[in-house]
């Protein structure tokens, strides 16, 4: 592989790589604002300027300048190496690039910082980007100058609503055009553009339009400063109080890799943001997925219920024993859930098929909906493939098949995972015909409302789990917050049900369960970004 030198370190590169891309791949940050690995190159911020040393014996590009001589307080003609944007210049074999080791680069970075901050309001204390703002970070690393401009700054529009999800502050905007390029190149909806020049430049929404496509929240995510903020998140939390868990989005079958940011002091989830995985979602997520973090706390089932009334776990398990203990072999059906992890589906499936004599298995979940050709999948469940993979040797029936079997009178007892169903409420009258419906679920929903016994399960935010996406890639999701109320992973409930029925089944640890599950599990996905971190 060809390589070049960056501050004396050998960096391999692929044909067509720019200096910044090769450095980024090698884990080296060349300071930048406008460059993003998933967007085209604009090269407008000039923060990434580097010095490219000429080959021995050759004179490199030079730039004539006037330099102030402090002794005489006069300007003298001088010259210095002409710096070049690392985001635009392609790597060449044997190239010698100076970044942190060049005094000319250090001077340029300081000057760029000063220019970008010349008209910037000093509102970091009330800015939502504080703590993850490149202007702040780079000022500390490369600025630290004394403010020289005493004039009133150029004032521009503040708190402009761009649409249902995003607010724009033109005074904070450095006009890097990342948001403009994102909506055009990724969201395929070129609804943003730049107007005016110099210190009057600002971003605007196309006349007659709003920023309202499926990917509006990504504009806030790619904005390197606090110019675009999300209505959902602004003023809710300070990012330095938040911790991140590497999760898998639950919004659809694409299974985008995400960080779930939560406050460990209150165990509250605050936002979802994309985690880079080039095999799945690259750098992006859709709005539905980014807002789906709310499901960590919304409409939760947190305590056991018997016949619609709150009960202790012991009382609920006694009722399960009374109802399922005497069921005839083959008289119980199992409903797996495309909303739950493979671990949950696997444990309940094995309990039901090997110990409860369950013959018929069905898979439920949310109904299909609209998708798009970027990421959003019509299947609104994160684990349809995983649930089906663990249904047993025969292909599972659909939820409609389950209702038909109940209506035909051959099914009286059902053990169900998950509350979600793909049909409207009218069809659920069939569920009322059951003598026994035991539901293990994390959220309220039709299968909880109709249940005789409800056991509270954890959400994806509260328990580690594996989800198999539409491409058949199995992806692991980490737990973030502590389980609410008495909820516990559904795979643990499978063990508790077995104990109540005196059956020899259960897994003491997640690792033990995963080892047992491994042979039936689809291929693992290439890992996403390993460490929680800021956007590129």
* 332 touches, from ligand FES, ligand SF4, none (C-beta below 5 to 8 Å by class): none
* Contact window for ligand SF4 (CB under 6 A) among 223-231, 306-314, 398-406, 508-516: 223-231
**Rama region for 274: left / alpha / beta (φ>0; ψ in -120 to 50; rest):** beta
Most distant CA atoms of the chain, gap in Å? 102
Closest contact distance (angstroms) between CB of 46 and ligand FES is: 5
Closest contact distance (angstroms) between CB of 122 and ligand SF4 is: 17
**Cα distance between residue 382 and residue 338, in whole Å:** 6
* Contact window for ligand FES (CB under 6 A) among 39-47, 206-214, 221-229, 466-474: 39-47
**Cα distance between residue 482 and residue 151, in whole Å:** 52
**Cα distance between residue 272 and residue 244, in whole Å:** 9
Residue 34 engages ligand FES in binding (rule: CB under 6 A): yes
Sheet holding 228-230, edge to edge: 160-161, 166-168, 228-230
Q: Quickly count: other Cβ atoms within 10 Å of residue 387's Cβ.
A: 32
**Cα distance between residue 168 and residue 231, in whole Å:** 10
Count of residues making up the chain: 536
* Contact window for ligand SF4 (CB under 6 A) among 251-259, 330-338, 413-421, 490-498: 251-259
Name residue 230's beta-bridge partners.
166
* 375 touches, from ligand SF4, ligand FES, none (C-beta below 5 to 8 Å by class): ligand SF4
Closest contact distance (angstroms) between CB of 257 and ligand FES is: 25
Between residue 85 and residue 124, which ones bind ligand FES under the rule CB under 6 A? 85, 87
* Contact window for ligand FES (CB under 6 A) among 38-46, 132-140, 277-285, 472-480: 38-46
* 32 touches, from ligand FES, ligand SF4, none (C-beta below 5 to 8 Å by class): ligand FES
Which residues, other chains included, contact 139 with Cβ-Cβ below 8 Å and sequence gap of 6+?
A: 113, 117
Which residues, other chains included, contact 117 with Cβ-Cβ below 8 Å and sequence gap of 6+?
A: 135, 139, 143
Cα of 124 vs its chain's centroid, Å:
25
DSSP 138-191: HIIIII-PPP---SPPPP---SEE-SSSEEE-TTT-----HHHHHHHHTSS---
* 48 touches, from ligand SF4, ligand FES, none (C-beta below 5 to 8 Å by class): ligand FES
Q: Of all helices (H) and strands (E), which one includes residue 347?
A: helix 342-350
Which residues, other chains included, contact 230 with Cβ-Cβ below 8 Å and sequence gap of 6+?
A: 128, 165, 166, 167, 217, 220, 271
Nearer to ligand FES among residue 43 and residue 52 (C-beta)? 43
Nearer to ligand SF4 among residue 113 and residue 177 (C-beta)? 177
* 376 touches, from ligand SF4, ligand FES, none (C-beta below 5 to 8 Å by class): ligand SF4
Residues in contact with ligand FES, total (CB under 6 A)? 12
Q: Figure out which of the listed residues 38, 81, 255, 456 binds ligand SF4, where binding follows CB under 6 A.
A: 255
Q: Quickly count: other Cβ atoms within 10 Å of residue 21's Cβ.
A: 20
Residues in contact with ligand SF4, total (CB under 6 A)? 27
Residue 225 engages ligand SF4 in binding (rule: CB under 6 A): yes
Nearer to ligand SF4 among residue 97 and residue 203 (C-beta)? 203
**Cα distance between residue 220 and residue 408, in whole Å:** 53
Query: Measuring CA to CA, which residue among 219, 233, 229, 238 is closest to residue 159?
Result: 229
Residue 24 engages ligand FES in binding (rule: CB under 6 A): no
* Contact window for ligand SF4 (CB under 6 A) among 174-182, 236-244, 304-312, 460-468: 174-182
Show the site string, 42-81: x = touches ligand FES by CB under 6 A, - = not.
Answer: -xxxxxx---------------------------------
Q: Quickly count: other Cβ atoms within 10 Å of residue 297's Cβ.
A: 14
Nearer to ligand SF4 among residue 35 and residue 399 (C-beta)? 35
Show the site string, 263-302: x = touches ligand SF4 by CB under 6 A, - = not.
Answer: ------------------x---xx-xx-------------
Residue 252 engages ligand SF4 in binding (rule: CB under 6 A): yes
> 200 by DSSP, 3-state: which?
helix
DSSP 84-130: EETTTSBP-TT-EEESTT-HHHHHHHHHHHHHHHTT--S-GGG-TTT
Q: Figure out which of the listed residues 227, 317, 361, 457 binds ligand SF4, where binding follows CB under 6 A.
A: 227
Closest contact distance (angstroms) between CB of 483 and ligand SF4 is: 22
* Contact window for ligand FES (CB under 6 A) among 30-38, 310-318, 355-363, 389-397: 30-38
* Contact window for ligand SF4 (CB under 6 A) among 130-138, 248-256, 492-500, 523-531: 248-256
Which residues are at the interface with ligand SF4 (CB under 6 A)? Answer: 173-179, 203, 222-223, 225, 227-228, 249, 251-252, 254-256, 281, 285-286, 288-289, 375-377
The site for ligand FES (CB under 6 A) is made up of: 32-35, 43-48, 85, 87
């Amino acid at each position: 592989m060809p390589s070049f030198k960056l501050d004396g370190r050998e960096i391999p590169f692929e044909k067509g790589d720019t200096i910044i891309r090769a450095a980024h791949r090698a884990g080296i940050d060349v300071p930048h604002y406008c460059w993003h690995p998933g967007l085209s190159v604009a090269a407008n911020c000039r923060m990434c300027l580097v010095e490219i040393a000429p080959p021995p014996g050759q004179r490199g590009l030079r730039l004539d300048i006037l330099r102030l001589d402090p002794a005489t307080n006069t300007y003298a003609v001088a010259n210095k190496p002409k710096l070049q944007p690392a985001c635009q210049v392609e790597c060449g074999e044997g190239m010698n690039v100076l970044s942190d080791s060049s005094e000319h680069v250090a001077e340029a970075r300081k000057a760029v910082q000063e220019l970008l901050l010349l008209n910037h309001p000093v509102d970091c204390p009330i800015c939502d980007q504080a703590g993850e703002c490149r202007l702040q970070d780079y000022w500390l690393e490369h600025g630290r100058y004394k403010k020289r401009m005493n004039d009133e700054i150029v004032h521009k529009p503040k708190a402009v609503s761009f649409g249902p999800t995003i607010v724009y502050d033109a005074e904070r905007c450095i006009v890097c055009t990342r948001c403009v390029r994102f909506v055009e190149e990724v969201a395929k909806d070129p609804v943003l553009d730049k107007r005016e020049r110099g210190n009057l430049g600002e971003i605007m929404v196309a006349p007659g339009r709003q920023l309202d496509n499926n990917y509006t929240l990504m504009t806030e995510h790619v904005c390197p400063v606090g110019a675009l903020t999300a209505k959902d998140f602004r003023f809710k939390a300070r990012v330095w109080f938040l911790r991140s868990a590497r999760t898998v989005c639950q919004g659809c079958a694409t299974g985008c890799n995400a960080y779930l940011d939560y406050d460990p002091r209150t165990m509250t989830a605050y936002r979802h943001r994309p985690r880079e995985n080039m095999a799945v979602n690259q750098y992006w997520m859709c709005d539905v997925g980014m807002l789906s973090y709310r499901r960590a706390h919304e409409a939760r089932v947190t305590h056991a219920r018997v016949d619609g009334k709150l009960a202790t776990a012991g009382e609920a398990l006694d009722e399960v024993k009374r109802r399922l203990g005497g069921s005839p072999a083959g008289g119980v059906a199992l409903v797996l859930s495309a909303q739950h992890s493979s671990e949950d589906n696997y444990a309940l499936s094995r309990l039901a098929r090997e110990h409860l004599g369950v013959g018929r298995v069905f898979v439920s979940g949310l109904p299909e909906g609209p998708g798009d050709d970027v990421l959003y999948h019509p299947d609104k469940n994160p684990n349809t493939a995983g649930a089906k993979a663990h249904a047993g040797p025969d292909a599972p029936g659909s939820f409609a098949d389950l209702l038909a079997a109940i209506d035909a009178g051959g099914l009286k007892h059902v053990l169900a995972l998950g509350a979600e169903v793909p049909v409207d409420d009218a069809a659920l009258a069939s569920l009322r015909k059951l003598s026994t419906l035991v539901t293990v679920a994390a959220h309220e929903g039709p299968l909880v409302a109709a249940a005789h016994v409800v056991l509270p399960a954890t959400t994806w935010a509260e328990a580690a789990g594996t989800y198999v996406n539409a491409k058949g890639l199995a992806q692991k999701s980490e737990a973030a917050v502590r389980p609410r109320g008495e909820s516990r992973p559904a795979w643990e409930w499978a063990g508790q049900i077995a104990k109540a029925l005196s059956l020899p089944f259960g897994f003491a640890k997640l690792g033990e369960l995963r080892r047992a599950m491994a042979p039936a599990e689809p291929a693992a996905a290439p890992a996403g970004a390993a460490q929680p971190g800021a956007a590129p």
